[in-house]
Amino acid sequence: MPVRPFVVVASLALVPGLASCEGSGKAVSTPSSTPSSATTSLKPSKPAGTQIGHYKDIVLSRSLELRFDDDPVNKRAVDGDLGFLGEIKAHRISPLPGSTRGGYQVCRDRTGQSKTLSFKAVTVGRSVCVITESGLVGLLKVRQFQYGHRDDRGILRFDLTVWQGPA
């Protein structure tokens, strides 16, 4: 019997390294599981304005980033939706005026095109709106902020609410 050669093709997806999280952040509710890439659609799976998660006491150390749609309490990403570097960075980010109460509609309508927020604008009690590159809308309520004088120092502690953005 003749032998027939065959080829096996395999693929492997690599995820950038993740750093550990400090603090005792606890998810009040967690986002639904992410569908596999074979079934992922470009349209959001939930209607705009649907709350995806509310997270208490997230700690983000300087030089790290987090993703709003992938366990923002515990995981840190290399290329995330919110980063604490020399400034606070995001796809779109805006602080809210002191007396303005944040929510989905407020953040969606008031978040400008700025990609950074100066550390001088971040104060305890301040609300900050973020819109991610994928369209998620987030509201941060700053609980603690220490800038630090070196890249590996500093801490941003906050509560986070995330909503599905418009399609």
Residue 41 belongs to a domain: no
Residue 61 belongs to a domain: yes
Residue 87 near residue 117, CB atoms below 8 Å: yes
Residue whose pair of structure tokens reads 């569908």 in the numeric block: 35
Kindly tell me if the per-residue pLDDT of 157 is higher than 70: yes
pLDDT of residue 126: 94
Residue 59 near residue 157, CB atoms below 8 Å: yes
Kindly tell me if the per-residue pLDDT of 17 is higher than 70: no
Helix (H) or strand (E) holding 52: strand 51-61
Q: What percent of the chain has pLDDT over 70?
A: 71
Residue 82 belongs to a domain: yes
Residue 10 belongs to a domain: no
Helix (H) or strand (E) holding 104: helix 104-110
Residue 140 near residue 159, CB atoms below 8 Å: yes
Domain residues for 60? Answer: 26-30+49-163
pLDDT per residue over 89-131, tens digit each?
A: 999 999 999 888 999 999 999 999 999 999 888 899 999 999 9
Q: Note the Cα 28 to chain centre separation in Å.
A: 16
Residue 5 belongs to a domain: no
Residue 60 belongs to a domain: yes
Residue type, 36: S
Compute the distance between CA of residue 46 and CA of residue 23 in angstroms, rounded to an integer. 30
Q: Quick check: pTM over 0.85?
A: no
Total of domains in the chain? 1
Residue 73 near residue 25, CB atoms below 8 Å: yes
Residue 89 belongs to a domain: yes
In sequence order, the β-bridge partners of residue 59 are 157
Mean pLDDT of 35-57: 71
SS3 for 92-141, per residue? EEEECCCCCCCCHHHHHHHCCCCCEECHHHCCCCCEEEEECCCCCEEEEE
